[in-house]
Each structure stands twice: as structure tokens, then as C-alpha cells.
Amino acid sequence: MELINPELLEYIESHTTPESPLLYHIRRQTHLKVLQPRMLSGLLQGQLLSMISCMIQPTRILELGTFTGYSALCMLGGLKPGGQIITIEKNDEMGELIEANFAKSEHPECLKLMIGEALPILADMTEKFDLIFIDADKKEYPQYLNAIKPLLNPGGYIIADNVLWDGKVIDSKDADDKSTHALMEFNRMVQNDPDFVNVLLPIRDGLMLIRYANAKG
């Protein structure tokens, strides 16, 4: 499902600040060497992640779903000096490529990769975060939300990718489509949680931007 006319998208991208040489390299290598390169954030979403990170200026960022490291590097630009990004990737075969991409960044010491399933790792976490980006297993989005809410600082932000799921969230005819139903449940949970202020943005496959507005400090 195309959310926007391709010609209009081309115009939008031509009027968006270009990605850095490193991000361009990662995007190109991802399309050449990695299966399902569509999973990569890309120019428009990547620049939005970078912009949000720069506005928030987080000290700590958590990412669920690293893929090839593109989105983590986008958010790195807004990180406060001395801050850290922890990013979780379940596919251990991606580890070497991710670490190589991180090593090329200006601040590799700020990037911590954890390989494994997100939910067990989250269960052992006690750190607090200012920004959390979700782009992992769609079937587990509701569980992710429950797991990360206690890890979010008062006034912190969550960004969740793929929440429109090619438009299937409004036309779910397949009762066995667990990903679609999980994303629909995630969207309902966010919308009905009085602690959250949220906006669903029709960017690529849908981005849900959430602020933890009523958190108790």
C-alpha cells in the first residue's frame, strides 16, 4: 500500500537534508548485501529520527531492532555528550556488520549493541531512557510497550515504526495475521493510556510518536 504518491515522495526527499556519507554508505550496502533492505529506515524517516533526537537531546536512548545500524546512527546526532544508545538486535548474524558500521561513526563509544531477544533483555533492565525507538518483531509490540513504559523517564518519548502495516490495520481480514492484530492492539493501548500523548504520522509505514506526559517522577 502506497501512503504517498511516488512523485510527491521524490519531491519531499529532494527537499530534505541529505543523509551523511556514512548513512548513505550503510543504506547502499544494506540494499546490496542484506535480505529485506526495506526494513532500513531510509532518508525521510532517518532524518525525522535525527531531528527528534536533536530536539529532545536525550542522555540515554534505547532501540529495539538494530538491523544494520542506520536508525541508531541517525539518533546518535542528538545524544548529549557522555550519553549512550543501547540497541537490541535478535539476529546474531547481523552483529559483525552492525559493529563495523558503528565503528565508522564519530562516537562509537556511545553505541552499545546487545544481541538477543528483546523481551528477556528488557526484563533485566533497570536503566531509564529519554527516547525509545521500537522497530522489532511486530507480534510483540504490545509486550514491548508494557516492558518499556517503566524504563521511560518522565517526559520521555517513544517512537514506534510500522504501526500502519501497509494499511492492514484498517482492513484486517486474516484472523491468523498475528502481526497485524498485535499492531492494532498496540495502537489501541497507546490511544487508551491516559499517561500518553500521541500522534500517528503517515510517514513510510506509519510512525507513532508518544510522549510520557503523566509520568510520576
- 169 domain-assigned: yes
Residue 114 pairs in a beta bridge with 88
Instruction: State yes or no: pLDDT of 1 exceeds 60.
Output: no
Task: Sort strands 84-89 and 111-115 into parallel, antiparallel or unpaired.
Answer: parallel
CATH of the domain at 54: 3.40.50.150
- 135 domain-assigned: yes
- 1 domain-assigned: no
pLDDT in tens, 35-71: 888 888 889 999 999 999 999 999 999 999 999 999 9
User: Which amino acid, 132?
Assistant: I
Distances (CA, A) of 150 to 39, 154, 215: 27, 10, 9
Distances (CA, A) of 128 to 122, 153, 164, 217: 11, 6, 28, 12
Whether the CA torsion 109, 20, 71, 81 is positive or negative: it is: positive
- The per-residue pLDDT for 142 is 98
pLDDT in tens, 113-143: 999 999 999 999 999 999 999 999 999 999 9
Q: Is 142 within 8 Å of 189 (Cβ atoms)?
A: yes
Give the domain extent around 95.
Answer: 6-212
pTM (2 d.p.): 0.94
